[in-house]
Structure 1
C-alpha cells in the first residue's frame, strides 16, 4: 500500500501530532488560573456534563481542570527526570570510552542497577529523598538511566574503533578531547531519542509512586493523587473520578512514545540514505 512506501513522511506526521498534543496539554495546564481548581461544596459529586466535562469530586472541584493541571505537573516531572537520566547515561557512556578498566566498572554498575526491580528502587529512592517534585524527579532520573547508558556505551565502543579516532590518538589528542570533540556529536541524536523514550516511563512511574503516597504532596494536582483519591469513591458509582483523569494520562504517555518512535524512524531512514 502507498502509505507504507514513505515511512519518513508518516513519521513526520505522527511525530508532529504528538508534539502538538503534548504542547496543548502542557500549556493549557500551566496557563489555567489557580481558581479553576478551588472547592465548591455546592457542586459536589456531579456527574460529567457540559458544565463539568469530567464531573466534580467530593469537594466540588472541577475534574477537567484538575486533570489538565495534573498532566502539566506530570510532564514537568517527566522532563526533569528524563533529562537527568539522559545526563547520567551520557556521562557514564563517555567515561566508558576512557579505558578498559573504566568500561568494566561502568558495565558492572549498569548490570547492578538493571538487576534491581525498577519500581522497588524507585520507591526506596523517593522515600529517601522525601517526595515532592524535586525528590520524585531525582528518584526517577536515578532509576531510568541504565538502558540508555548501555546504548550510549555500545555507540562509544563502536566509535572508538573508527579510523579518525585512531588518527586523533596518534596526533596526541587527549581522551577527554577526543570524546567531547569527535564522539559526542555522533551521540546527540541517539541520546535525544533515548531521552524522549524515557518520558513515558517517567510519567507513569511518577503517577505510580504518587498513587502509593510516596510522590508529590496532596496539595499538588497530580494525576497519581487524583487516581489515589478516586479509589475511595468508585464503590459509590463515581467512576468518572478515575476514568477521565486516567485516559488523558495514557494519551500523553502514548504521544511521547509515538514521538520517540517517529524520531527513531527518521534517524534510521536518514542514516540509510547517507549510506546509500
Structure 2
C-alpha cells in the first residue's frame, strides 16, 4: 500500500466517524431550537391573553367612570389627568374606550363561541348524515358566503331589534361558513380510517362516533378557528354599531364613540377618534396574534421553523 493509499485509508474512518457524530448533534440542535420556539410562542400567547383579560376587566370596572359627566372639563386635550382627553360632555375618553373595548370583547366571545359551535355541528352533520345532509350543508355554506356579509349582518341585527343581543346573534349567524369548511375537510379525512368503519359495523351510533372520535380529532383546529373568529366578530360589531344598526348610544361601545366623534373632528377634537380607533386596532391585533400563535403551536412543523 502506498503512502497516498495509507492516507486515504486513514481518512475514510475519520470522515465516517465525523458524519456519525454530526448526525446526533444536528438532531439535538433541532430539538433544542424547536423547544425554544415553542417556549417563545407560549410566552407570547400568554402575554397577549393576559393583556386582553386586563382590558376586559378594567373596562368593566371603569364603566361608572365612563358614564360620569363633568361639563367643567369638556373637550380637554390629552394630558396626565386624562391620557385620552375628554369629550363634549366631560367624560374621560380613556375610561370610555376601555369600557367600549370590554363590551366588544364580551360580544366577540359570545358570538365567536356560538358561531364555532354551529360550524362544528354542521361539519359533523355533513360527514355523518349521508350524501343528502352533506349536499344541504354545502348549499347552506355557499348561500351564506355568497351574500354580502355586512348587509346580512345588518339585516339580522335590525330584525332582532338591534342592541346587544341583536348584534351578538347577527355576528354568530354569519361567521360560521369558513370554519365549517375547514372542519368538514378534516373530518372527511378521518372518516376513511378503518376504526370508524369497524365502529359502524359494530352498531355504534353516529352521535357516539361524533363525540368519541370526530370531536377530539378536530379539537385543535376548532380551537384555532374559534380564536381567529374573535377579531372578525369585534370588527363587525364595531362596524354595524358605527352605522347605527348595533349597540344603542347609551352603551360605551367603540362603534358608538367613533360615530359620535365624527361630528367633532372638524372642530379639531382629533383625540375623540384617534385613540379609540387605535385601541380597537390594537385589541384586534392581540386576538389575531393569539390565533396565529395557537395555529403554529398546533402544527408541529411550524414549531421547527
Does the CA contact (< 8 Å) of 1:97 and 1:179 recur in 2? no
In the other structure, the counterpart of 1:84 is 114
Aligned to 1:195, what secondary structure does the other structure show? helix
Partner of 2:96: 66
Aligned counterpart, 2:189: 158
CA deviation map 1:27-49 (0-9, x unaligned): 11112251443111101110000
Matched, 1:51 2:86: no
TM-score by length of 1: 0.94
Deviations 1:180-235 (A, max 9, x none): 21111112221111011000000000000000010001000000000000000000
Distance in 2 between the 1:46 and 1:10 partners? Answer: 42
Do the aligned residues in 1 keep the contact of 2:66 with 2:252 (CA within 8 Å)? Answer: no
- Give me the whole-angstrom Cα distance separating, in 1, the residues matched to 2:103 and 2:112: 14
Residue correspondence of structure 1 range 199-210 to structure 2 within 5 A: 199-210=230-241
Q: Give the CA deviation at 1:155.
A: 1.3
The structural deviation recorded for 1:9 is 2.8
Q: Could you tell me whether the CA contact under 8 Å between 2:63 and 2:99 is conserved in 1? A: no
Specify every segment of 5 or more residues in structure 2 that has no aligned partner in the other structure, as ranges: 1-29
Contact 2:127 2:184 in 1 (8 A): yes
Cα shift readout 1:133-192 (whole Å, capped 9, x = no counterpart): 111000000000000011111111111111111111121212222112111111222111
- Counterpart Cα distance in 2 of 1:89 and 1:242: 35
Q: How many residues matched?
A: 272
Aligned ranges 1:4-15 → 2 under 5 Å: 6-15=36-45
Is 1:107 aligned with 2:138? yes
Which of 116, 120, 125 is matched with 2:147 structurally? 116
Instruction: Name the residue aligned to 2:59.
Output: 29
Change (3 A) 1:175 1:70: same
The answer to whether residue 180 in structure 2 is matched with residue 145 in structure 1 is no
With over 3 angstroms needed to count, the CA separation of the structure-2 counterparts of 1:4 and 1:45, relative to structure 1, is: farther
- Residue 181 (str. 1) matches residue 212 (str. 2): yes
Q: Out of 64-73 and 98-107, give the one that drifted further.
A: 98-107
Distance 2:292 2:193 in 1: 28
User: TM-score, normalization: structure 2?
Assistant: 0.85
Q: Which range moves more in the overlay, 28-37 or 253-262?
A: 28-37
Q: Is 2:219 the partner of 1:198? A: no
Q: CA 1:27 to 1:269, structure 2 compared with 1: closer, same or farther past 3 Å?
A: same
Whole-angstrom CA distance in 1 between matches of 2:246 and 2:222: 27
1:38-96 residue CA offsets vs partner (Å, 9 max, x unmatched): 11110111000011100000011000000010000000000011001011101101111
Change (3 A) 1:33 1:92: closer
Q: Distance in 1 between matches of 2:58 and 2:65?
A: 14
C-alpha separation in 1, matches of 2:86 and 2:160: 33
